[in-house]
Structure 1
Amino acid sequence: MFNLHFDTVAGLLLVLIALGIISHNNAITIAACVLLIMQQTILANYLPWVVRNGINVGIIILTIGVLSPLVSGKIQLPEFSELLTNWKLIAAIVVGIFVAWLGGKGVSLMTLQPALVTGLLIGTVIGVAFFKGVPVGPLIAAGILGLVLSVTD
């Protein structure tokens, strides 16, 4: 049942678990625990599926969480005329478009230059663990890095 192959990745996951506990960040702790359990058990057979679909599943769950207050009635949709006249709503739409585009660039960069993923993940974990960030950062970080790299190339 247990694979018990302790390698560098398992060590990194243990460090992430410790960082998550120290920083009181349940997202890091739970994610690293789940992945360590998967790596060390027969669940390792499902890791290729997680690699292929994990980001999409995560984005779906995140989107459900963001939309749920709207669906539950906790927040109300603004009137259409307000969308066109309220500068804060217009700014929110523009920023939302920009961040979605940036995230798309991040996915491309992570696919084309996977070696950079390690640095992005370490930076994101530090941001989540010590600066009260949220772990959606790798896509945006990769998008920003892609912009910086394209300017310097």
Structure 2
Amino acid sequence: MNWDNMPLVVILVLAVIGNNQSVSLAVAVLLVMKFLGLTTWISSIENHGLDIGITILTMVVLTPLALGRVSIVDMMVAFKTQAGLVAIIVGMIVSWVATQGLYFLKASPEATTALIIGTIGGVCFLNGLAIGPLIAGGVAAMIINLLNSLKQ
């Protein structure tokens, strides 16, 4: 086996140990694609996967609306309760933080590896979700910006 595959194999082992099916499946698919020589497909996933994934996640979140389980009245109630208002504000903040994370990951490839390791650890051992790198990147960017501003 090619040593270039070892990080994926290690992540696969951690995912299996951590009983995380989504990470196990993702790594297994990537390994199979590598073994079959489908590197252009892997490059396409790298280039377009995030947009496709965010679109699918957005569809999942909007599914209750499409199925009629949430009405316009239900949505208006969210503006009238403390929990609803907090959820709206936090949703907006986290969305912005994720955007900062996307910029950070593109600008700091050296941090991407560390964020991936942290996310895999969180997914495998803390029952987290693999969506973490964007949020983690945003939080990391904010902390780094804060530390840089304190140095000046």
Q: Which amino acid aligns with 1:91?
A: V
The alpha-carbon deviation at position 79 of structure 1 amounts to 4.2
Aligned to 2:109: 114
Give the structure, 1 or 2, with the largest relative contact order (CA under 8 Å, sep 6 or more). 2
Picking from 81, 86, 106, the partner of 2:81 is 86
CA distance in 1: counterparts of 2:81 and 2:38, whole angstroms: 50
The alpha-carbon deviation at position 24 of structure 1 amounts to 1.3
Between the two proteins, what is the percent identity of the paired residues? 30
Q: Which runs of 5+ in 1 are unaligned?
A: none
Q: Deviations over 1:27-71 (max 9, x none)?
A: 110010111112222211222211111111111111122222332
The alpha-carbon deviation at position 82 of structure 1 amounts to 2.2
Q: Which runs of 5+ in 2 are unaligned?
A: none
Moved over 6 A (4+): none
**1:123 counterpart = 2:115:** no
Aligned to 1:68: 63
Q: TM-score, normalised by structure 1?
A: 0.89
Change (3 A) 1:132 1:77: farther
Q: Deviations over 1:63-100 (max 9, x none)?
A: 12222233223444544652332111111110000000
Q: TM-score, normalised by structure 2?
A: 0.89
- What is the root-mean-square deviation of aligned Cα atoms in Å? 1.6
**1:7 counterpart = 2:11:** no
CA distance in 2: counterparts of 1:91 and 1:149, whole angstroms: 26
Change (3 A) 1:122 1:78: farther
Aligned to 2:41: 46
